[in-house]
Every structure is written in C-alpha cells, then in structure tokens.
Amino acid sequence: MATDSRPPEAWAALAVSPPVAVVGLGGAGSEAVQDLVSLGIPGVRALAINSDAKHLLRMSVEERILIGTRELRGRGSGGDRTSVLRAAEDGREEILRRLAPFEIVFLLAGLGGGTGSALLPFFVRELRKTDTLPVPVAFLPFQVELETNQGRRENVEATIGELEEMGGLLLALANEKLRRFESLPIQRVFHVRNAYLHSLVSSLVDMVENPSQLNVDLASLKNHLREAGLSTLLVGEHHISEPERLVQQAISDSLLDYHLSEGPSALVHLDGGANLTLRTLDRVLRTVRQRFGEPQHLVFGTRVRPEPRDVVRLTAVIGGLRPRSVRDALRPAGPGDDADALLLAR
Ligand SMILES: Nc1nc2c(ncn2[C@@H]2O[C@H](COP(=O)(O)OP(=O)(O)OP(=O)(O)O)[C@@H](O)[C@H]2O)c(=O)[nH]1
Ligand SMILES: [Mg+2]
C-alpha cells in the first residue's frame, strides 16, 4: 500500500471543496439557474447554454454559452431537437472541456422545447463517460401545454425515453404539481420549484464540504446518486419536536407523483442547530424507512450549526421510482391508475 508521508498540510490540496456546477439548458433551464444564483449558491459555478442569443444575453449567469450559431443563427430552435443535436455535436469538445473540472454537474432543462430537451440527454450521456457526475433535472411541462401542442409532447416523450433507456439518476419535477400555487404570479410559482432545487444543491455541497460528525464523503455520495434511477426530491422544514411530521409534510409537498419500485434508495440530509439530537435523526430516518419500504441504500448526512435552533430542515433524494411514473405525470390520473402500486405524494 502506498502511503502519503507528506505533512498534513500537503493533504489539504486533496480536500479542496468539491467543485459543483449548475448548468441551465435552453430557456427554462437557464432561467432556473439564474434564480438559483439569486437565492445564493456560494462555491457553485453557474452556466447557461442556449441556442437563443437574445435570451442568453438577458441572463446574468456568470458563464454563458451560445450553441448552433451556424445552423440556428442565435434564434433558438423553435422546438427542433434534431438541429440542436447537430449544434451540440459541434460544441461538444468545448463544453465538455469547461465542465471537466467539476465533480457534480446539475443539468437543468424544461422539457418540451427543442434546446433543453435535446441537450439534457446529450450531456448526460457525454458526462457519464467521464469522472463528472451529471445530475439531470427535468421540469415536466404543465398538462395544458401537452394537450395543446403535439410537438411539445413528442419532444418530452423522446427526451424521457432517451433518459430512461440510459438508466441512472434522473430527477423529475412536474410543473403540474405547482398548480397548488396557481394564484401566485407565474414567476413566483417557478421560484417555489427552484427553491426546492436550491435546497438540494446547498445540501449536497454542505454534505461534502462542511465535515460534521455524520459526514458523507464525495466518493460515496457520487456512487449513491449514480445508481439512484428515477428520483424525486423531498424538502421540508419543521419544528424539531415532530420529526415524523417533517417527513410526512415533505412527502405531501413533493413535486412528482410516483410509484415505488423494489429497493428504493434514499439520500437524507438534515440541517439543524446544536440541539439536534441523535434521537431526532433516528426518528427521521425511521419514518423515511417506513414510508419508502426499507430503502436498500440509505445515505445520510447532517449539518449542525453552532447555535441551537427550533427547526430542522430535511432534504432528501428518493431514488428507485418506477420509470413509468414519469409518463404518468404527463397525463391526468385516471381511475385505477394507482391500484397496483403504493402511491405517495398525492
Ligand atoms: N420560461 C420558463 N419556462 C419553463 C420553466 N419551467 C418549465 N418551463 C417550461 O419549459 C418548457 C421548455 O421551454 P423552453 O425552455 O423555452 O425551450 P428551449 O429548451 O429553450 O427550446 P427552444 O426554445 O425550442 O429551442 C416549456 O414547456 C415551458 O413551459 C421556467 O422556469 N421558465
Ligand atoms: Mg428557447
């Protein structure tokens, strides 16, 4: 076994903060990234990639990349995935070179248009060939968009089909689940969803960057997520006296209707104060295990702040959901849909 006999200061170089990037693909993805930046994501690099020059110019994201200037002339694709794919091939080397330094890259896209829908599976496939872990986040369009626009529906189905075929992690967030906020202005509604994502990005960075007593190292975190399959995100905050309610509430607020498959997986992160006890953690984990039928892989981490706090915040990625549930999210629930499966998050 080779050992490193250098003084500990020299090891510090190996423990530098994990570089995480959030990358918006197409219009909706870029807007989501911009919103994440506005919520504050210290230490996380933000990029926006689009085929629409006008839209990209409006973005205040630190790195912006225009693709397809030759074919699409900076005008967006108008829903044409095929020409976006050609453009992506042209820009592949340059974009991958820029993404190479990062350990974890969130790829955000609203499905239905041409740009985000084509680039999401493209870069997931490319990054999976490297050491960088891609975390694809797909925003599923509102039902009304799918009912009134056949082209959008076809783009969504093609993209989901490709991502499912590839397997591995896919985080799907359904816009339809945001209807419960329908009295809010539209941008505010998307902001609610982006706040969920913000919580996930911050928790992941936290887990590996702020070592605490219950810390998850970067390698195990990446391995866990790599295998998670179709996943949903749970986020919630509640008084520390009721850890069970914290989990229940996060489940009922989740942004995807889903069915559980055999052996789901769970990544659980708790953010609390100095008074966060092992008992509270235990009650949270026990509730997660009860609700998700004994996840086969459970990884957890905590962030304990120096001062006591009344509330504890939960962020969890529940993986191993049934692939067909993404398609279910694309049509209204009918009678008997849930009969064969445990359906949560309603
Ligand atoms: N503008 C916006 N649209 C969103 C958001 N979240 C989801 N969407 C939906 O995202 C889908 C894709 O739209 P765009 O992102 O504009 O499409 P695009 O990827 O830029 O593709 P093209 O413009 O066709 O090249 C649509 O169904 C939108 O309704 C959001 O935060 N902002
Ligand atoms: Mg666009």
| 215-249 pLDDT tens trace | 677 888 888 888 888 888 889 999 999 999 999 99
Q: What angle do CA 179, 145, 106 make, to 5 degrees?
A: 75
pLDDT at 176: 86
Q: What is the pLDDT of residues 60-74, one digit of tens each?
A: 999 999 999 888 999
Q: E strands of the chain, at which residues?
A: 20-25, 44-50, 63-66, 104-110, 133-140, 170-174, 230-239, 258-272, 297-304, 311-321, 343-344
pLDDT the model gives residue 245: 96
Find the 36 Cα to ligand 2 centroid distance in Å: 19
Low-confidence ranges of the chain (pLDDT < 50): 324-325, 333-346
Judge whether 34 and 48 are in contact, CB under 8 Å. yes
Determine whether the shortest distance from the Cβ of 31 to ligand 1 is under 6 A: yes
Q: Ligand 1 center to residue 142 CA distance, Å?
A: 11
- What does the chain come to in residues? 346
Relative to the alpha carbon of 53, which ligand is closest? Answer: 2
| Beta bridge mates, 300 | 268
| 73 backbone φψ class: left, alpha, beta (φ>0; ψ -120 to 50) | left
Residue 325 phi/psi, 5° resolution?
-70, -25
State whether the beta carbon of 155 lies less than 6 angstroms from ligand 1.
no
What burial class does residue 5 get, using C-beta atoms within 10 Å of its C-beta: 0-12 exposed, 13-18 middle, 19+ buried?
exposed
Which atom of ligand 1 is found nearest the CA of 193?
A: 31
pLDDT tens track for 95-115: 999 999 999 999 999 999 999
* Cβ-contact 313, 236 below 8 angstroms: yes
Tell me, what's the pLDDT at 345?
27
Output the pLDDT for position 252. Answer: 84
**Ligand 1 contacts CB of residue 30 (under 6 A):** no
Residue 173 Cα distances to 108, 156, 190, 324, angstroms? 11, 13, 11, 14
Nearest protein Cα to ligand 1, atom 17:
113
**What pLDDT does residue 265 have?**
87
Start-to-end C-alpha separation, the chain: 52
Pairing verdict, β 63-66 and 170-174:
unpaired
Question: Among the atoms of ligand 1, which is closest to the Cα of residue 28?
Answer: 15
Q: Which atom of ligand 1 is nearest to the CA of 79?
A: 24
The closest residue, in CA terms, to atom 5 on ligand 1 is 28
- Chain centroid to Cα 135, Å, comes to 6
Burial of 39 (0-12, 13-18, 19+ CB in 10 A): middle
* Ligand 1 binding pocket includes 68 (Cβ within 6 Å): no
Ligand 1 pocket, residue 82 CB under 6 Å? no
DSSP secondary structure letters along 230-299: EEEEEEEEEETT-HHHHHHHHHHT-S--EEEEEEEEEEEEEEE-TT--HHHHHHHHHHHHHHTTS-SEEE
Q: How far is CA 197 from the centre of its chain?
A: 6
Q: What is the DSSP letter of 1?
A: -
Q: What is the reported pTM?
A: 0.87
* Cβ–Cβ < 8 Å for 156, 122: no
Q: Could you tell me which of 116, 58, 67, 105 has the C-alpha nearest to residue 88?
A: 67
- According to the model, what pLDDT value does residue 83 have? 95
Counting ligand 1 atoms within 8 A of each CB, the residue from 50, 66, 190 with the most, and so the one to mutate, is 190
Q: Which atom of ligand 1 is nearest to the CA of 117?
A: 19
Question: What's the CA dihedral at 306, 278, 216, 42 to 10 degrees?
Answer: -30
What residue's CA is closest to ligand 1, atom 32?
28
Give the domains, in start order, of the chain with CATH numbers: 18-166 (3.40.50.1440), 222-326 (3.30.1330.20)
Report the distance separating Cα 60 and Cα 35, nearest Å: 10
Written as six digits, the tokens of 339 are 């009969």
**Cα 44 to middle of ligand 2, angstroms:** 24
Cα(29) to ligand 1 centroid in Å equals 7
Which atom of ligand 1 approaches the CA of 152 most closely? 27
